[in-house]
């Protein structure tokens, strides 16, 4: 007979499925039945992951199923948080570690619905799908060293993890690394469009732009050099790169645009938190 689950994942959409894949890779499902996946519409992909790892899945859950639960991971949409928290709070055992990856749901709000206990807010990004997320966590005062280790274990399965003490900075984190992937995708789009405008065939321009970003990432990952040093390394005085960088950096326009973009995303995070 399967054991009662120790860890439950509520919501197995894009982020939940990425976490499951990561946990499968680092064998977090051992022993069989220790992980429960709750989602009313499990995708085939998630069903396969559940089967491959001898986990359990269910459309709903109840007090008996959660009797031995130690860790609850919330990966549902922000607008579902209140309803799901109200259903789960009365049936959770006391002192369950709650990890929420829900954007904009504060530790205070989690405590409002679940009562005092060890709660962690985490902000991963979609690179979790390929094990390359950078997640930032923020814990409340009830979180012990053992809890923190567990959080790192679960999130390191999809990439790297950093910790912040000041929860107010989570909106900036969301603006930099939560939303940040989109900025680099945009950079590839506009670089490709610029290459095309200068005469390159569309497909080639797109491939060159994409692979250049991939190559830059790999260099930053593998060489122990700052981005500024890497940039200097490919910029000969008076050369072609310098001509382009003069346009981008000459009047500070690029830095100012990024500053304004991150500031807008940070403000929007605050607004969404206040209306949700």
Ligand X SMILES: NC(=O)c1ccc[n+]([C@@H]2O[C@H](COP(=O)([O-])OP(=O)(O)OC[C@H]3O[C@@H](n4cnc5c(N)ncnc54)[C@H](OP(=O)(O)O)[C@@H]3O)[C@@H](O)[C@H]2O)c1
**Shorter beta-carbon distance to ligand X: residue 101 or 192:** 101
Interface with ligand X includes 164 (CB under 6 A)?
no
Interface with ligand X includes 269 (CB under 6 A)?
no
Q: How many residues bind ligand X (CB under 6 A)?
A: 25
Instruction: Pick one of 6, 13, 26, 167: the residue that binds ligand X (CB under 6 A).
Output: 13
Q: What's the helix, strand, coil split of the chain in %, to 5?
A: 55, 15, 30
Minimum CB separation of residue 197 from ligand X in Å reads 31
Minimum CB separation of residue 27 from ligand X in Å reads 23
Give me 187's structure tokens.
């950079």
Q: Which of residues 206-265 bind ligand X (CB under 6 A)?
A: none
Residues whose CB is less than 8 angstroms from the CB of residue 208 and which lie 6 or more positions away in sequence, other chains included: 192, 195, 200
Instruction: Pick one of 50, 55, 102, 161: the residue that binds ligand X (CB under 6 A).
Output: 102
Minimum CB separation of residue 268 from ligand X in Å reads 13
Minimum CB separation of residue 173 from ligand X in Å reads 10
Long-range contacts of 150-156 (CB under 8 A, 24+ apart): 150/70, 150/71, 150/97, 151/97, 151/99, 151/120, 151/122, 153/26, 153/28, 154/7, 154/19, 154/23, 154/28, 154/71, 154/73, 154/99, 155/99, 155/122, 155/124, 156/26
**Shorter beta-carbon distance to ligand X: residue 170 or 205:** 170
Instruction: Pick one of 49, 85, 101, 154: the residue that binds ligand X (CB under 6 A).
Output: 101
Pick from 26, 113, 27, 51: nearest CA to 37:
51
Minimum CB separation of residue 84 from ligand X in Å reads 5
Laid out side by side, the sheet with 119-123 consists of 56-58, 35-38, 7-10, 71-74, 97-100, 119-123, 133-139, 159-163
Give me 269's structure tokens.
């995070």
Give me 237's structure tokens.
């005085």
Interface with ligand X includes 77 (CB under 6 A)?
yes
Minimum CB separation of residue 24 from ligand X in Å reads 17
Interface with ligand X includes 118 (CB under 6 A)?
no
Interface with ligand X includes 16 (CB under 6 A)?
yes
Q: Which residues of this chain interact with ligand X, rule CB under 6 A? A: 10-16, 38-41, 75-78, 80, 84, 101-103, 123-126, 178
């Amino acid at each position: 007979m399967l054991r009662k689950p120790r860890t439950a994942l509520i919501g197995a959409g894009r982020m939940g499925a990425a976490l499951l894949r990561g946990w499968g890779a680092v064998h977090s499902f051992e022993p069989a039945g220790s992980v429960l996946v709750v989602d009313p519409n499990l995708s085939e992909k998630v069903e396969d992951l559940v089967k491959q790892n001898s986990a359990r899945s269910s459309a709903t859950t109840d007090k008996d199923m959660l009797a031995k639960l130690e860790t609850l991971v919330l990966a549902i949409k922000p607008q579902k948080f209140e309803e799901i928290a109200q259903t789960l709070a009365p049936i959770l055992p006391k002192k369950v570690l709650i990890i929420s990856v829900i954007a904009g749901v504060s530790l205070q709000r989690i405590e409002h619905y679940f009562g005092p206990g060890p709660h962690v807010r985490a902000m991963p990004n979609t690179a979790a799908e390929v094990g390359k997320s950078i997640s930032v966590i923020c814990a409340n005062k009830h979180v012990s060293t053992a809890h923190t280790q567990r959080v790192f274990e679960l999130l390191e399965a999809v990439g790297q993890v950093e910790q912040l003490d000041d929860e107010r900075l989570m909106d900036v984190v969301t603006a930099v690394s939560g939303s940040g992937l989109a900025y680099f995708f945009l950079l590839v789009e506009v670089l490709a469009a610029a290459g095309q405008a200068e005469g390159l065939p569309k497909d080639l321009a797109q491939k060159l732009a994409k692979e250049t970003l991939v190559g830059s990432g790999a260099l930053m990952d593998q060489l122990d050099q700052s981005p500024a040093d890497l940039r200097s390394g490919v910029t000969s005085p008076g050369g072609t790169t310098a001509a382009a960088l003069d346009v981008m950096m000459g009047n500070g326009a690029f830095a100012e645009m990024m500053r304004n973009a991150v500031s807008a995303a940070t403000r929007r995070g605050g607004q969404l938190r206040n209306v949700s």
